[in-house]
Amino acid sequence: MVKRVFSGIQPTGTMHIGNYFGAIRNWVSLQNEADCIYCIVDYHAITIDVDPKELRTASQSMALDLLACGIDPERSILFVQSDVPTHTELEWIFGCVTSYGDLSRMTQFKDKSDKQEFVSAGLFTYPILQAADILIYRADGVPVGEDQVQHLELSRRIARRFNSRFGEYFPEPEPIVRKGARIMSLADPTSKMSKSAGEVHYVGVMEPETSIRKKVRSAVTDVGLEVGAAMSPGVANLFEILELACESVGDTATVAELKTEFADGKLLYSRLKDTTFERLMDVLRPIQERRAKLAASGNVVELLQAGARKATKIASATMVDVRRLVGLGTSA
RNA sequence: AGGCCCGUAGCUCAAUUGGCAGAGCAUCCGACUCCAAAUCGGAAGGUCGGGGGUUCGAGCCCCUCCGGGCCUGCCA
C-alpha cells in the first residue's frame, strides 16, 4: 500500500484531455488513498527554450487548471518546483550515482534531442532531476503514463545505488499505472495526443465549446464500415474518449448502445462525434466553470506559496539526512 | 583561445553573373462526405537572424554583432 504519492507536470501550454484522462484524473482520485504531493515542474520546462515572461504565468495557469480539475490544496501539497530549490541540490548528488550509459539509453531524450538543433545538458540529465523530485519526498508511489515508466525505472536504480553506497535511506518508488487512457490525436489517430504536434491534434481542457465541437467533428474516421469489421483507429479513439467521459459523469448506457449500433453497422459517425462531444462537455464544463471562479478569486500565488512551505519542510529534512550520509558540509 | 560551415513562411528547403522572394508539407475557407480523411479548388502566411556599409538596385558582396553545428588547442 502506497503511503506517499508524488507526481509532476510541466507548465507548458495548456492541459489537454489526454493529460486529464491519462494522468490528472488519477491524481485527483489518489488523494483519497495517500498523501499526495503534486508539483508544477518549471525546472524541467527550461530544458527546452521557453519565454521567461510566459513561464511564470504558465505555472500559475497550470495551477489553476489543476485546482479546477479537483486537486485539493487542503489535502494535498501543490507547489511550483523552483520554489523548493533543494530539488536541484539532490539532483547533483544523484547525478554522481547515475551512470552515463543509463542516461544515454533514455528513449525520451533520444526523441526530444532529435527534434532540436540545440540540445542542452539539462535535457540529458532531466531524468536525474525527476528522480530527485520524487525521492526528496521519499515518495513510494508515482502515477505514470506508459512513456514515463522508463524514467521511473531509472529513479529506482538511482535510489538503489544511493542506498548501497551511502546507506539504506530512499524507498524505491513504485509506478502506479491506472487503466488505459491513452488518448490519440484526433487528426492523426496513430500518434498520441500531444501539444507539440500542433493545434489540431489536441483538445484543450479549457478550450471554448465551439472550438472543441469543431475539433471533435473534424476527427479522422474511416471510409465506411463493413458489418463485423474491427474499428479503425480513429473510431476506436472516439469511443475511448466517449467511454472515459461517460465514466466520469456516471453514464453507463450510452457506450453500450453505440457499440451495438456499430456492431450492427448502423452507427453514423456524425452521431458518434456529436455524442462524444456532448459527454465530453459534461465533464469539461464544470471544470471550466470552477477554473473561471478560481481565476477570479486571485489567490493562486498564495496557495502555491503555502504549498511550497509545506514541501520545503519535508525536502529540507531529507537534505539534512542526505548531506550527513554522503559526508557533505561541515555540520553534523 | 583558434579554424571551418550554417541562419530565407509554422516545418523542410529553392532563388542563375547582384535585377519583381518561391515550392512542398502544415494552416484557414470552399467542394465532396452520415461526420471526417484522402482528393480537387481557393486563400492566407516573410523585420530574408540583428545592425551598419558598397551599389541605380543586396537574400546574394563587405564590416560587425547574435544564434547554431563541426573540428583543434588550453584549463579543470
Nearest nucleotide by C1' from A200 CA? B27
Chain B: bases < 7 Å from a protein Cβ:
26-28, 34-37, 67-69
Nearest nucleotide by C1' from A187 CA? B37
Distance A202 CA to B27 C1' (A): 15
**A23 contacts A194 by C-beta, under 8 angstroms:** no
Q: What is the CATH number of domain A199-292?
A: 1.10.240.10
Distance A311 CA to B20 C1' (A): 63
The set of catalytic residues of A is: 112, 192, 195
> Does the CB of A225 fall within 7 Å of any strand B atom?
yes
At A175, is the secondary structure helix, strand, or coil? strand
Which three cell numbers mark A246? 461517460
At A323, is the secondary structure helix, strand, or coil? helix
Nearest nucleotide by C1' from A267 CA? B34
**A171 contacts A318 by C-beta, under 8 angstroms:** no
Nearest nucleotide by C1' from A232 CA? B37
From CA A271, how far away is CA A235, in angstroms rounded?
12
pLDDT (tens, 9 = 90+) of chain A, 332 residues, equals 789 999 999 997 789 999 999 899 999 999 999 999 999 999 999 988 888 878 888 999 999 999 999 999 999 999 999 999 999 999 999 999 999 889 988 988 888 887 778 888 899 999 999 999 999 999 999 998 777 889 999 999 999 999 999 999 999 999 998 765 689 999 988 888 888 788 889 999 999 999 999 999 999 998 876 777 888 899 999 999 999 999 999 998 999 999 999 998 889 999 999 999 999 999 999 999 999 999 999 899 999 999 999 999 999 999 999 999 999 998 76
- Residue A33 contacts by C-beta under 8 Å, 6 or more apart in sequence? A2
Which three cell numbers mark A187? 487528426
From CA A63, how far away is CA A54, in angstroms rounded?
14
Distance A59 CA to B11 C1' (A): 28
Residue nearest to nucleotide B36 (CA to C1'): A220
ipTM value of the model? 0.80
Residue nearest to nucleotide B34 (CA to C1'): A268
**A235 contacts A223 by C-beta, under 8 angstroms:** no
Residues in A 72-131 whose C-beta is less than 7 A from nucleic strand B are 117-119
Distance A221 CA to B29 C1' (A): 22
- Residue A172 contacts by C-beta under 8 Å, 6 or more apart in sequence? A140, A156, A159, A160
Which three cell numbers mark A208? 471554448
What is the reported pLDDT for A181? 67
Count how many Cα atoms sit within 13 Å of the Cα of residue A150 in the half-sphere of its side chain.
Answer: 11
Class of domain A4-181+298-326: alpha beta
Q: Where are the beta strands (DSSP E) in chain A?
A: 4-9, 35-40, 77-80, 141-143, 174-176
Residue nearest to nucleotide B33 (CA to C1'): A223
From CA A322, how far away is CA A166, in angstroms rounded?
9
Provide the b/e sequence for A219-235 (b: ≥16 CB within 10 Å): bbbeeebeeeeebbbbb
> Does the CB of A227 fall within 7 Å of any strand B atom?
no
Distance A117 CA to B54 C1' (A): 34
What is the reported pLDDT for A69? 97
Extents of the domains making up chain A: 4-181+298-326, 199-292
Residues in A 254-283 whose C-beta is less than 7 A from nucleic strand B are 268-271, 273
Paired residues of A36 in beta bridges? A5
